[in-house]
């Protein structure tokens, strides 16, 4: 991920995990000059993913990411050579998919492109709600099953899934300070 830096303009993005209720979302601010590869890292940290899987961005009719060499589908454009400010002006809506097996789809809205706030460093998260689902829980459908099992001690998979998540998981938990600490460390 690029160094935390000052910038001429800042993109404010609303990132929402699709197909999960109640919504899991983050409002992040990044330099407009960030590459899509850098934005991938920011989203991973802001949402709480662990970057164990492939990903891609779909902006308009173009797909950006890392070419896996398989040759399936339309050509993948290099995310390391593409700057957010060049492909997503204010008002743009686009998607970010993470983990093609679990198929975590994120809707991203460029809500504002503005001058940086005095004294602020970027990237940063300014708001959000709810914990990110655990990695490899089976996508939106598997996450719903996980939450049902954790909420019901009589559920046939309660003990198994409680152990799998490490003993506890609070889907309502969100700590802005923790997100920004991860962004600073990345």
3-state SS, one letter per residue, for 67-134: CCCCCCCCCCEEHHHCEHHHHCCCCCEEEEEECCCCCEEEEEEEEEEECCCCCCCECEEEEEECCCCC
138, 32 contact by CB (below 8 A): no
Give dist(CA 137, CA 131) in Å, integer.
Answer: 14
Q: What is the pTM of this model?
A: 0.92
Average pLDDT per 10 consecutive residues for the chain, totaling 186 residues: 62 98 97 98 97 95 85 85 97 97 96 94 97 96 96 96 95 97 93
**Tell me, what's the pLDDT at 6?**
47
* Helix/strand/coil for 120: coil
**Tell me, what's the pLDDT at 154?**
97
**Tell me, what's the pLDDT at 73?**
73
**Tell me, what's the pLDDT at 3?**
46
- For the segment(s) 10-133+171-185, the CATH number from 3.30.9.60, 3.10.290.30, 3.40.50.20, 3.40.50.12160 is 3.10.290.30
Q: Where are the domains of the chain?
A: 10-133+171-185, 134-170
- Which has the closest alpha carbon to 169: 140, 141, 132, 120? 132
- Which has the closest alpha carbon to 183: 69, 64, 27, 73? 27
């Amino acid at each position: 991920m690029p160094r935390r830096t000052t910038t001429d303009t800042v993109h404010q993005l609303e990132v929402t995990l699709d197909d999960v209720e109640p919504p899991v979302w983050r409002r992040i601010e990044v330099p407009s000059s960030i590459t899509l590869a850098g934005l991938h890292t920011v989203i991973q940290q802001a949402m709480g993913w662990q970057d164990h899987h492939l990903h891609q961005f779909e902006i308009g009719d173009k797909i950006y990411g890392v070419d896996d060499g398989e040759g399936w589908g339309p050509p993948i454009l290099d995310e390391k050579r593409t700057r957010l400010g060049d492909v997503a002006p204010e008002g743009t809506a686009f998607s970010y998919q993470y983990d093609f097996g679990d198929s975590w789809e994120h809707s991203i809205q460029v809500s504002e492109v503005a001058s940086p706030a005095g004294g602020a460093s970027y990237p940063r998260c300014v708001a959000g709600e709810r914990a990110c689902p655990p990695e490899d829980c089976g996508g939106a459908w598997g996450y719903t099953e996980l939450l049902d099992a954790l909420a019901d001690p009589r559920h046939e998979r309660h003990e198994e899934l409680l152990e799998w998540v490490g003993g506890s998981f609070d889907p309502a938990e969100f700590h802005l300070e923790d997100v920004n600490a991860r962004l600073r460390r990345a």
